């Protein structure tokens, strides 16, 4: 029997940030990208969606962000409506930093506040705060062409943080970066998560990255993406390079890889 939908109050009282129930998504071209998928994410949790390319991970994020509507099922997100003060409950970071090349770092980060018609009074303060959170204060007046790939991604992260979202959705944000930069950004993201207490849903196809970052890893099947397995990563906090080289980390990676392997079966020619 279908579970009754929760009212917004019940949803909040249950400590939930996101709930998907029996969600499927078929695109107009007939591709069924996702589901059926059930998913609960608690407030303040760090969850990764891990699966092969094309299994519907981005689709799941877009449904949660309200950028797409499900074909079936329900998507609940705590307080998804935008607020008058330019705060927005959801921040979205894409794989490409997608910065405006003609605008400074400061003006790139200002964009969501402008789009939300937020009062300009405290916009500068908020931009400074977001830039400080990603360690880019000194580059506020720089242009994207002057920045490394990692720094561009930091700008993209600051642009997502400037509206002070409760939920951050990250779609393979570090996939194009070299390994050392990626490790550094992994650590900085974990620091931010600990400091800011946001709910993070992180999409990746890297077992290693998902285990390093998350409290919970949700392994998805090949398209249409469903849950293939769920792993609690109960490693002690804060995580650091010692964890990355530990037997505990290797053990989690092995378990998660085992659950992911069938999702790649039949994709050998891909």
**Cβ of residue 191: shortest distance to ligand ADP, in angstroms?**
26
Q: Provide the b/e sequence for 231-270 (b: ≥16 CB within 10 Å).
A: bebebeeebeeebeeeeebeebbebbeebbeebeeeeeee
Quick check: 175 binds ligand ADP (CB under 6 A)?
no
Number of residues that bind ligand ADP (CB under 6 A): 13
Question: What is the 3-state secondary structure of the chain?
Answer: CCCCCCCHHHHHHCCEEEEEEEEEEECCCCCEEEEEEEEEEECCCEEEEECCCCCCHHHHHHHHHCCCCCCEEEEEECCCCCCCCCCCCEEEECCCCCCCCCCCHHHHHHHHHHHCCCCHHHHHHHHHHHHHHCCCHHHCCCCHHHCCHHHHHHHHHHHHHCCCCCEEEEECCCCCCCHHHHHHHHHHHHHHHHHHCCEEEEEECCHHHHHHHCCEEEEECCCCECEEEEEECCCCCCCCHHHHCCHHHHHHHHHHHHHHHHHHCCCCCC
Return the number of the residue (159 or 223) whose C-beta is nearest ligand ADP. 223
**Cβ of residue 123: shortest distance to ligand ADP, in angstroms?**
32
Return the number of the residue (33 or 41) whose C-beta is nearest ligand ADP. 33
**Cβ of residue 69: shortest distance to ligand ADP, in angstroms?**
12
Return the number of the residue (105 or 218) whose C-beta is nearest ligand ADP. 218
Return the number of the residue (97 or 144) whose C-beta is nearest ligand ADP. 97
Ranges within 4-63 binding ligand ADP (CB under 6 A): 27, 29, 31, 33, 51, 53-59
Q: Which tokens is 214 given?
A: 């998350």
**Cβ of residue 223: shortest distance to ligand ADP, in angstroms?**
5
**Cβ of residue 41: shortest distance to ligand ADP, in angstroms?**
17
**Cβ of residue 1: shortest distance to ligand ADP, in angstroms?**
30
Ranges within 53-112 binding ligand ADP (CB under 6 A): 53-59
Ranges within 196-255 binding ligand ADP (CB under 6 A): 223
**Cβ of residue 53: shortest distance to ligand ADP, in angstroms?**
4
Quick check: 154 binds ligand ADP (CB under 6 A)?
no
Return the number of the residue (56 or 86) whose C-beta is nearest ligand ADP. 56
**Nearest alpha-carbon partner for 97 in 27, 17, 185, 166:** 185
Return the number of the residue (64 or 155) whose C-beta is nearest ligand ADP. 64
Return the number of the residue (226 or 239) whose C-beta is nearest ligand ADP. 226
Q: For binding to ligand ADP (CB under 6 A), which residues are involved?
A: 27, 29, 31, 33, 51, 53-59, 223
């Amino acid at each position: 029997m279908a579970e009754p939908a929760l009212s917004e109050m019940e949803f909040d009282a249950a400590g939930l940030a996101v709930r998907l129930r029996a969600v499927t998504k078929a695109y107009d071209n007939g591709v069924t990208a996702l589901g059926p998928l059930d998913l609960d994410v608690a407030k303040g949790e760090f969850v990764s969606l891990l699966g092969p390319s094309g299994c519907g991970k981005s689709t799941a994020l877009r449904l949660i962000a309200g950028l797409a509507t499900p074909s079936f099922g329900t998507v609940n997100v705590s307080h998804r409506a935008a607020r008058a003060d330019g705060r927005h409950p959801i921040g979205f970071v894409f794989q490409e930093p997608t910065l405006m090349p003609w605008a400074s770092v400061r003006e790139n980060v200002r964009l969501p506040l402008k789009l939300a018609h937020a009062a300009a009074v405290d916009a500068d303060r908020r931009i400074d705060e977001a830039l400080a959170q990603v360690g880019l204060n000194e580059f506020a007046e720089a242009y994207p062409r002057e920045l490394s790939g990692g720094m561009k991604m930091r700008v993209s992260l600051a642009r997502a943080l400037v509206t002070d979202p409760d939920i951050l959705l990250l779609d393979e944000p570090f996939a194009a970066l070299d390994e050392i930069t990626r490790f550094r950004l992994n650590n900085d993201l974990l620091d931010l998560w600990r400091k800011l207490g946001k709910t993070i849903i992180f999409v990746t196809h890297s077992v290693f990255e998902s285990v390093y970052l998350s409290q919970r890893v949700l392994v998805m099947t090949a398209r249409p993406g469903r849950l293939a397995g769920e792993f609690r990563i109960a490693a002690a906090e804060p995580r650091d390079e010692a964890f990355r080289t530990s037997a505990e980390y290797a053990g989690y990676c092995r378990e998660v890889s085992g659950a992911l392997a069938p999702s790649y079966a039949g994709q050998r020619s891909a």
